[in-house]
Amino acid sequence: MKAWEIEHNLRMHAKPEKTFKPKWEGIDSFEEFYDSIIRLFWKSNVPGSGAPECLMAGAVQSVENMGKDVTESEALLEKGLAFLNKDDSAPLRAITSEIFFFLNRSIKIREHPYHKFIRPIEWDKISKGFPPDKDYKLNIAELKKKIYGGWIGQICGASMGTFIEGYNHKNLVEAFGNSLGGYLREPDTVNDDITYEIAFLLAYEENKGNVTSEDIAKKWISYIPFGWSAEYMALENLKRGIYPPLSGQLSNPFQEWIGAQMRCMVQGLLSPGKPYKAAKLAFLDSQISHSGNGIYGGIHSAVLTSLAFIYSDVKELLVKSLEYLPENTEFRYLAEKVIKWCKLEDNWEEVYYNVEIYFKKYNWIHLYPNTAAVITSIWFGNGNFKESMKIAASFGYDVDCNAGEVGTILGVELGIDRIDSKWYMPFNNILKTYMKEYKELKISELADRTVNCTLC
């Protein structure tokens, strides 16, 4: 039926109701919902840890990190905070919009060091020089152990880190001391990171591996009710029919934050020993909500996970992963820098202090300091699951994302049989999420479905 026919039929069959009463009162609930979202951008607390957050300041900070002049938007932050404190909703809505307006038109600072690097966003340019995959196969029993170990490692790391994300090293050590690196409360598997991986797996299954960014994006819209930072912006774009890669680029100051890196381990699990394939799948997923260096972060976590099926030496694994990052990009430069720090320093804490100073101007959710946390945890953890978790927890920043990634990589390398069962026994094989229609999943079934997808 044509669009005009649908509308014409509505009009032709619409009969006036003489006793109909106007229904304007429902508008109040829409207004309150919208205002609650605006207030969250100015003042919120991380759901799992209670850490304070100001996403509007993070947005301005992030655009400046990308080498742009944020003078106009930055000047409005204190005014916005004053409106927030007075609970003055009308001007707060306007100033929020104005800040995003200025960010969207912010001008490049030519001498900014960010612009010394290239920033490819198309796959053929990103992947130029990536080594091709070799024929690598595991026997089915070993494959199952490693994939199951990867999922368990991720869920354990994320559950451990959720309680402490958003705090720095000094304050975490003061509060928890030697207890860091284990569960500080009854572990809870609800975590936003893994919802995107489940959405990817659903799209991958449905399309028998021949998946596109649009396929994945439609699963986001179908099953993920709410996102944060880059994912929030992407979901809003997707709802309006703005699909990848524009969904990750338009009006998205968070496009180089951690979001893609935190969720692209599943592509590595689906590509055992095939890092090029893992990188391509991660690219398809990452560009939904990210661009530039944000995409390379997603590629890196997928490649690390894929390589973990092959390498038993974690340091060799980390060095090898650099070959799957586009040359002359800022992300590769910084990943190489952190590995150099790891080689030069005697312990992870010295690397942390380098990171704290070097990335002082970056948000705690930004990709760069969190990549440093992942690399350092793997390097100095030396393949020991507990020690790697302790470093990831003590390092601070976005701990659940980092520990989830580290846990996946080590879970693959070790296999489920070599992870102490005390880590995963509290879950009773159940993963809980806030996804529509997927509130509970058996972890073993999630692993089996992933194995089946690798065989199709």
Q: What is the pLDDT of residue 302?
A: 98
SS (H, E, C) 310-369: CCCCHHHHHHHHHHHCCCCEHHHHHHHHHHHHHHHCCCHHHHHHHHHHHCCCCCCCEHHH
| Cα atoms in the Cβ-side hemisphere of radius 13 Å centred on 141 | 1
96: helix, strand or coil:
helix
- Give the whole-angstrom CA distance, residue 59 versus residue 73: 10
User: Residue for token digits 């569960």?
Assistant: 183
Residue 107 in tokens: 């001008």
Q: Which residues contact 352 (CB under 8 A, 6 or more apart)?
A: 169, 376, 395
Cβ contacts of 196 within 8 Å, gap of 6 or more = 220, 224, 231, 263, 285
**Residue 433 near residue 181, CB atoms below 8 Å:** no
Rounded Cα distance between 323 and 248, Å, is 25
Mean pLDDT of 130-158: 95
Mean local confidence (pLDDT), 195-202: 97
Angstrom distance (rounded) from CA 280 to CA 307: 14
pLDDT tens figures, 97-107: 999 999 999 99
Are 284 and 216 in contact by the 8 Å Cβ rule? The answer is yes
Identify the pLDDT of residue 390: 98
CB 211, CB 204: distance < 8 Å:
yes
DSSP single-letter state for residue 121: -
pTM comes to 0.96
* DSSP structure class, residue 257: B
In the predicted model, what is the mean pLDDT of the chain?
Answer: 96
Angle (deg, nearest 10), helices 399-414 and 385-395: 170
Q: What residues have CB less than 8 Å from 27, skipping those under 6 apart?
A: none
Residue-wise pLDDT for 14-68, tens only, equals 999 888 888 777 777 778 888 999 999 999 999 999 999 999 999 999 999 999 9
pLDDT at 34: 86
Residue 149: alpha-carbon gap to chain centroid: 21
Q: CB of 439 within 8 A of CB of 197?
A: no
CATH 1.10.4080.10 region(s) of the chain? 123-455
Note whether 58 and 97 are within 8 A (CB): no
Residues 17 and 9: beta-carbon distance below 8 Å? no
Which tokens go with 255?
């496009």
Rg of the chain over Cα atoms, rounded to whole angstroms, equals: 23
Distance CA(252)–CA(229), nearest Å, equals 8
DSSP 8-state code for residue 242: -
- Maximum Cα–Cα distance across the chain: 83
Q: What are phi and psi of 168, to 5 degrees?
A: -95, 170
- Which residues lie closer than 8 Å to 362 by C-beta, 6 or more apart? 61, 65, 368, 369
Looking at the chain, the whole-number percentage of residues with pLDDT higher than 70 is 100
Superfamily of domain 123-455: ADP-ribosylation/Crystallin J1 (1.10.4080.10)
Q: Choose among 77, 298, 46, 317: nearest CA to 197.
A: 298
Tell me: the pLDDT tens digits for 251-291? 999 999 999 999 999 999 999 999 999 999 999 999 999 99
- Amino acid letter for position 143: L
Could you read off the pLDDT of 381-435 as tens digits, one per residue? 999 999 999 999 999 999 999 999 999 999 999 999 999 999 999 999 999 999 9
Integer Cα distance of 432 and 318 in angstroms: 31
Written as six digits, the tokens of 8 are: 């014409």
Pairing of strands 438-442, 430-435: antiparallel
Which residue's entry shows tokens 């100033």?
95
- The whole-number pLDDT of residue 31 equals 80
